[in-house]
Every structure is written in C-alpha cells, then in structure tokens.
A and B are shown apart, each in its own frame.
Chain A
C-alpha cells in the first residue's frame, strides 16, 4: 500500500509540474523530448538484469508441481480475453490498446510507462499518455479490489481466485491476503503465478502496443 501511495504521489507531482509549467519538456529541445525514451531503455535493461540474475526462478520451477504453471497461463488468458471484450464498451480504444492495458496484470507502474512510450508512434503523444494513465488506474484498481475482496473471491471461486485477481502482485503486495484467505499451502501457487505473470508484462505490453 505504501508503494501504491508513492506511485500515485510521484504521478501527481508530475501532473502538477506539467500543469504549472515548472517543467516543459518541449522547451528542453530534442534531448528533453527524448529523455523519457532514454529512461525507458535504462528501465528495460534493468528489468533484463533482474531476470538474468534471479536465483529463485530455477528452484521454484524444479520444486513445485509442474501443473501449477497452468495457473499463470489461465490468469493471463482470462485477463486478455475479458480485456478484449471490454473493448466493445470502450469504442475509443482498439482491441490491441485494451489488450495492452490488460496485459499489465496489475503491474501498474511498469505497464503505464511502457504504454505511454510504446503507443506514441501509433496513437500520438496525447492519446498514448491517456492510455498510459488508464493502465495506471486499471492496474491500481485491480490491486485494491484484490485486497478488499479476497475473502469473497476465495469463498465463491476457490483458492486460486485471489491469486488470479492479484496477478503480478501475488508475489508482493497481495501475498499476505492470499495466504490469510486461502491457507499457507497455497504459497507455491502464488509464487509461480506472480513470477510468471511478472515476467510476461515486459513482453506482452510492448507486443500489443506494436500491433497498434
């Protein structure tokens, strides 16, 4: 929750800076306009480093029931299928735009900045920033809903439901409520689902953005 507040605070601070004109990216010339792009390169590089050096990955996949890998696949497939359906009531956005937001899987900070950058060539600066903001809010709502509705999800939809709803946050923010509601023996399922969905975000979001 503290992390969420920090993310929202930084985002609002940016809004205020842009609104008041304290920071004007276009007045900084070419370097200023490309600055977010350079930071994106750094971010993607660092995400790669964290994947390459992750020691838990091999251990988790070796120790656990391999059928548990079906859980993150179901979470991703279910999220994407219904995000595509949501596009029917959101005429402003293309199917791929909705899929890009959905494939954030609850990783609001990364998905929003990826979308606002990757969508720029096809949607333009303004619409890309708009969709990035939608991704930020969508994935924050997903985390909040999971934290609030965990007992109901577990009772009506079984022990995998809270993990599914949590998406990426099954390994961090939502892990305590998952264990509290679905029991401690759900831990391997939560870790596998959280890690696999986490790794899918930097691949799926740019993929759907590149489809336009």
Chain B
C-alpha cells in the first residue's frame, strides 16, 4: 500500500516538474495501454476459474444493482443541489 502511494507521489512530482515537456501529451495513451494489460490479466484470472465463468450472469445482476444504486444516488444528490443553489441563476456559468 505504502509503495503505491509513493509511486503516485513520485508520478505527481515528476509530472509537475516536466509539465512543459511535449512528450507528456502521450501519457494518456500509456495509461490506456497499462489498463488494457491489467484488464487482460483480470480476464485470464476469471477465465481460468470455471466456476466463476459459469456464474458470470450472477455477477452481471449484482453489477446492475450497484449501477442503479450509483446512478440513483448521484442523480438525486445533483437534483437537490440544483434546486437549492442554482435554479435562481439564469445560466449555470
């Protein structure tokens, strides 16, 4: 855990120091590539587990519950915030 915090802190410092460097515009692509690599390995772990693979629809159902919960909660909170603080403004800007 502490190593991961250090890795992120090192990245933030380095990114800030080198923020003028043009090459940093590719960092988004590099993030995508590492995410793809990790997603592939997540897939490998799941694919290697036959029981888990046959339960994929159960996982989908649980994901649906959590997705509905997340959307409902955030939309209600944003709705309340808008009614309380922003509706009187003519523009939201």
Contact = CB atoms under 8 A, between A and B. Distances in A.
Task: Give the interface SS of chain B, mostly helix, strand, loop or mixed.
Answer: helix
A160 B47 contact: no
A52 B63 contact: no
Tell me which of B21, B38, B79, B80 has the highest count of chain A C-beta atoms within 10 A of its own C-beta: B38
A188 interface: yes
Interface residues of B, number: 72
Interface residues of A, number: 101
Contact of B35 (A43, A163, A206): A43
Interface in B49-83: 49-50, 52-53, 56, 59-60, 62-83
B45 A49 contact: no
B82 A159 contact: yes
Nearest to B21: A53
A44 to B, nearest CB: 5
B48 to A, nearest CB: 4
A77 interface: yes
B67 A78 contact: no
A102 B69 contact: yes
Nearest to A68: B92
B73 to A, nearest CB: 3
Interface in B1-28: 1, 3-4, 7-19, 21, 24, 27-28
22 contacts: A6-B36, A14-B39, A18-B45, A19-B50, A35-B41, A45-B7, A52-B11, A52-B13, A55-B19, A70-B81, A77-B77, A82-B76, A83-B73, A101-B63, A117-B38, A126-B49, A133-B42, A136-B42, A158-B78, A158-B82, A161-B75, A164-B75
A-B CB proximity, top 9 nearest: A14-B43, A48-B11, A52-B15, A18-B47, A82-B73, A78-B77, A137-B63, A164-B78, A18-B44
Given A48-B9, A65-B93, 16 more contacts: A19-B47, A43-B34, A46-B27, A49-B14, A65-B92, A67-B86, A75-B77, A133-B56, A134-B62, A136-B39, A138-B66, A141-B67, A145-B71, A158-B82, A158-B83, A206-B1
